[in-house]
Amino acid sequence: MNNQFDNITEAKVQEAASERKAREKSLDAIMTLSEVKEEMLELLNSAREAVRGTSEASRAHAYWIAHIRMALDEDHEWLGGSMCTLQDSIDSLREELDGDEYL
């Protein structure tokens, strides 16, 4: 009987450790993705400035700048958007950690 209790206790300890590791992984992902998003916004602004005043400015703004910007989040000037933005992924990970003391 005692051996059975030890097995249950060990299984619960392993489960708790696994859950803690998954939470830490999600928290790391949230932090990394948030930093990447900010860096991408800065780089996209640099790219926009680089083509401003050139013959490619209009086409860049209408196509690749719009595509990249709409993929990051929904806070942009274009009509429409992405089915799943980078911010959506960040928010989804946060929701999984809802109520977590780390956030």
Q: What is the pLDDT of residue 83?
A: 86
* Cα–Cα distance measured from residue 91 to residue 41, given in angstroms and rounded to the nearest whole number: 18
DSSP-assigned letter for residue 53: T
- Asked, for residue 84, whether it belongs to a domain, the answer is yes
Is the pLDDT reported for residue 6 higher than 70?
no
Q: What is the pLDDT of residue 99?
A: 61
* Residue in this structure with the two tokens 């958007």, named with its chain if needed: 81
- Asked, for residue 70, whether it belongs to a domain, the answer is yes
Is the pLDDT reported for residue 103 higher than 50?
no
Is the pLDDT reported for residue 18 higher than 50?
yes
Could you read off the pLDDT of 37-96 as tens digits, one per residue?
999 999 999 999 999 999 999 999 999 999 999 999 887 776 777 789 999 999 999 998
Contact predicate 70/85, CB 8 Å = yes
- Asked, for residue 35, whether it belongs to a domain, the answer is yes
Q: Which domain holds residue 75?
A: 28-96
- Asked, for residue 90, whether it belongs to a domain, the answer is yes
- Asked, for residue 14, whether it belongs to a domain, the answer is no
Number of structural domains in the chain: 1
